[in-house]
Amino acid sequence: MTLAGFTAIRPFRAPWHVRVGWLALFIYLAYATSHLELTWPRFLQGIGNGATFIGRMLPPNFERWELLLKGMAESLEMAIVASFLGIVLSLPLSVLAARNLMPAVVTWPVRMLIMLCRSFHPVIVAIIFVKAVGFGALAGIAALTVASVGFLGKLFTEAIEEISLKQIEAVRATGASFMNTIVFGVIPQVMFRFIGFSAYETDANLRNSTMVGIVGAGGIGGTLFAAFQRFDYDFVFAILLAIIALIMVGEVLQIQIKRVFKQ
Amino acid sequence: MLIIRNLSKSYVAGTPVLKDISIEIAPRGVTAIIGPSGTGKSTLVRCINLLVEPTAGEIVFEGRDIAHLRGQPLREVRRKMGMVFQEYNLVERLTVMENLLTGRLGYTSAWDSFRRRFDPADIEHAFRLLDHVGLASFANTRADRLSGGQRQRVGIARALMQKPALLLADEPTSSLDPKTSVEIMQLMCGLAEENQIPVMINMHDVELAKRFANRILGMSGGRIVYDGPPEGLDENMLKTIYGGEGWLA
């Protein structure tokens, strides 16, 4: 018995296509960097500008606190209303999209609709709604609702598809109607996950509601954008601090909601 | 009471699980179906309340053929058949009381059940049944906190909440220890006798079947090969039903 045949083979040698892959990546990176004019002097100059910018942000200026508060309140209202609408719309849609409850003729179109809602970033959807219904909170609420349906619709559907069918079978065996089976067989199994998802989506809406204003869809984002354009960097900083505070409050609330509904 | 004529079921076309089964169930008494795994015992029981739709044949319940019912008429028939499951199939996240009231869903609108507005008479009935199965103090306990034996007691109470005309049981004791198995069989057959309901049980345990049933159906290869009293079930018959003989001590 000889092992002579194996000595010629070097272990751990990268196959040729892996080498080619790495080479291609480096060539592309070099091309992209040169193409985008990423040069060292520009970077140094940018750092200088950044320092000036931060200098002008400090200290934060809360003089126009009424404007700030109005924008924040509008963002909060948009987030809450859009989350509520998103949850209410996602509940029936997820039942219709669940492949263990509905035939394919029903699930496919509903799945397409949910996927469509998730295809675009809320800001892009907001631009469309601003064009459709005009500037203001209505466009923002519509955009955030669409985003919520895209996200919650998918998560709710997946939760429903993972339930135990044995429990459903027992409920059906009692002569319960479809709606009764949903109420006593499906909802108890998915309720707690739905609450978790909804709290998470409300948190996401809170963040997005501060952003859609940049394209004119209401909320603090509009105020922020205007302050940027007028070089009121100290006011910009005040707005950023307020947004951070809002997100932190949202985080605490989310934790509390999950704790109350735990298990 | 219940007449099954020429019942066949194939999940895959051409490979029938049940082959031309005809039986008649009397309005009283316990019928046990025994036979090796995969012989269609479960399918037979599920065909009766149409959780599985038969491929061919008739199921005559209270004087009419129900084999191809759908929608509301099907639900009305199911309301009259209680079912007890091997793995209890309780809704885990609901309380014991809610699980019992599941047995009344056939008579309750979804809006009412959503708000937990059940007929006070049903709730009273549920408390009486809970007392009967020895779980009176567990009404507000969530089902996932119960032991196997307790769960099956809830399962039996849920089936009886329907005030059924027929009680079906699919291996009700296969997940339980021997002592609890006997207790569950005693409880189920006792309550059925008390309420004058016929029972159809499919089970693995031949001794338990002989002890509680007054009629045994032996199934093999999708057919009924024995139909008679427990006393007639001798070694030869068991060989016919289960095949081989090495397992017979």
Token reading at A164: 């135990």
CA distance B174 to chain A (A): 16
pLDDT digits (tens, 9 = 90+) for A184-201: 999 999 998 999 899 889
pLDDT digits (tens, 9 = 90+) for B163-187: 999 999 999 999 999 999 999 999 9
- Taking residues B181-196, what's their average pLDDT? 94
Assess whether pLDDT exceeds 60 at residue A6.
no
Q: Which residue has the higher pLDDT, B138 or A32?
A: B138
- The predicted structure's pLDDT at residue B114: 93
Assess whether pLDDT exceeds 80 at residue A14.
no
Assess whether pLDDT exceeds 80 at residue B243.
yes
Domain architecture of chain B: domains with CATH: 2-242 (3.40.50.300)
Q: Specify whether the CB–CB gap between B184 and B149 falls below 8 A.
A: yes
Give ipTM to 2 decimals.
Answer: 0.91
CA distance B246 to chain A (A): 35
Across the interface, whether the CB atoms of A170 and B83 are under 8 A apart is answered yes
Of the ranges A6-20, A122-136, B146-160, which one carries the lowest mean pLDDT score?
A6-20
Chain B residues 69-88 with CB within 8 Å of chain A: 75-83, 85, 87
Phi and psi (nearest 5°) for B2? -140, 125
Phi and psi (nearest 5°) for B201? -120, 130
Q: Which residue has the higher pLDDT, B31 or A66?
A: B31
Mutating which of A174, A181, A186, A191 best tests the B interface, going by the most B Cβ atoms within 10 A? A174
Assess whether pLDDT exceeds 60 at residue A7.
no
Chain B residues 133-192 with CB within 8 Å of chain A: 155, 158, 162
Residues of chain B contacting residue A159, judged by C-beta atoms under 8 Å apart: none
User: CA nearest B105: which of A166, A181, A176, A186?
Assistant: A176
- Give B72-101 as a 3 state SS string: HHHHHHHHCEEEECCCCCCCCCCEHHHHHH
Partner residue opposite A180 with nearest CB, options B87, B93, B108: B108
A-B contacts (CB, under 8 Å): 86
Whole-prediction pTM? 0.82
Domain architecture of chain A: domains with CATH: 67-260 (1.10.3720.10)
pLDDT digits (tens, 9 = 90+) for B41-85: 999 999 999 999 999 999 999 989 998 898 899 999 999 999 999
- The predicted structure's pLDDT at residue A253: 84
Token reading at B53: 């739709």
Q: Specify whether the CB–CB gap between A170 and B169 falls below 8 A.
A: no
Assess whether pLDDT exceeds 70 at residue A2.
no
